[in-house]
């Protein structure tokens, strides 16, 4: 099974750049998209038909605010259940979460909040992390398995961004943000990529300015956190740096069937 996560930074824009052709070689069984910034009815009819042909099970969770945030999960096989949001209006109005359940596996597609340039949303972001972890703790206590994927909007360690020293006061690498990644690991999650590749330097996001992607001056913001009991099934985590169209690249989790 192959699960791919990708912050597309505007679904209509990336579809216009040939997204459907670029994702085909990834062979994703489930495609988790963040920051779609659109409702399905706003998409080109031909694009919608092509999406439905490739992924018969479509789940959409656009934000109430037009042109902002939002998630979508496209799957080749329908899940046992789909949940939109976390069950809290203060987080769910922005369309940041879709949960697919396949048996005992709960797949969370999440677009975590950004702290904002002036850091005004950092408290909201940290509260979001806390609320989600409480929900995950309950599922783990029931013996369920969890995969959290998406744009975490935080780089965990210095190895995860090109310029750590100059970013410690910027959202995405502040100590209080990074501490929440630590807390998820302390509560039983495994960062699948870092577990497989402890010393590999790869990024998943590059600013559009300063030619950052060509110079590979980036951040690793897109993760798969998985329950420990799932790690024996993890064959690989692949950063598709060659796939263009967004300021993020897709990331694929490969699971043994």
User: Would you say residue 119 has pLDDT above 90?
Assistant: yes
Average pLDDT over residues 88-111: 97
**Residue 180's pLDDT is what?**
98
What pLDDT was estimated at residue 147?
98
Question: How many domains is the chain built from?
Answer: 1
Question: Would you place residue 191 in the very low, low, confident or very high pLDDT band (cuts 50, 70, 90)?
Answer: very high
Residue 170, pLDDT score:
97
Q: What percent of the chain has pLDDT over 70?
A: 100
Pairing of strands 2-7, 30-34: parallel
Domain with 244 in it: 2-255
Per-residue pLDDT at 15: 98
Q: What single DSSP character describes residue 171?
A: T
> Which 8-state DSSP code applies to residue 222?
E
Per the prediction, the chain carries an average pLDDT of 97
Catalytic residue among 80, 92, 151, 182: 151
Could you read off the pLDDT of 168-190 as tens digits, one per residue? 999 999 999 999 999 999 999 99
Strand-by-strand arrangement of the 251-255 sheet: 57-61, 71-75, 30-34, 2-7, 251-255, 234-239
> Per-residue pLDDT for 257 more than 90?
no
151 labelled catalytic? yes
Residue range 151-161: mean pLDDT, rounded:
98
CATH of the domain at 53: 3.60.10.10
pTM score: 0.97
Alpha helices in the chain (DSSP H): 11-16, 19-23, 45-54, 89-92, 122-141, 175-186, 192-196, 212-215
Residue 137: pLDDT over 90: yes
- Give phi and psi for 155, each to the nearest 5: -95, 130
């Amino acid at each position: 099974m192959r699960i791919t996560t990708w912050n597309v930074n505007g679904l209509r824009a990336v579809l216009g750049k040939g997204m459907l052709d670029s994702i085909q070689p990834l062979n994703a069984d489930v495609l988790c998209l963040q920051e779609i910034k659109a409702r399905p009815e706003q998409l080109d009819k031909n694009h919608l038909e092509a999406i439905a042909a490739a992924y018969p099970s479509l789940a959409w969770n656009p934000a109430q605010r037009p042109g902002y945030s939002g998630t979508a999960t496209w799957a080749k096989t329908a899940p046992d259940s789909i949940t939109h949001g976390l069950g809290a209006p203060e987080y769910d109005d922005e369309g940041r979460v879709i949960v697919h359940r396949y048996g005992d596996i709960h797949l969370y597609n999440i677009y975590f909040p950004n702290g904002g340039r002036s850091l005004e949303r950092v408290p909201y972001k940290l509260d979001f992390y806390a609320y989600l972890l409480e929900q995950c703790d309950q599922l783990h206590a029931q013996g369920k398995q969890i995969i959290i994927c998406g744009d975490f909007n935080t780089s965990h360690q210095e190895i995860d961004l090109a310029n750590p020293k100059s970013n410690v006061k910027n959202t995405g690498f502040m100590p209080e943000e990074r501490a929440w990644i630590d807390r998820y690991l302390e509560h039983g999650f495994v960062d699948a990529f870092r577990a497989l590749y402890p010393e590999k330097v790869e990024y998943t996001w590059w600013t559009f300015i300063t030619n950052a992607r060509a110079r590979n001056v980036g951040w690793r913001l897109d993760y798969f956190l998985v329950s420990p009991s799932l790690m024996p099934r993890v064959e690989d985590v692949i950063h598709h740096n060659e796939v263009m169209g967004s300021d993020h690249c897709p990331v694929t989790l490969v699971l043994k069937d």
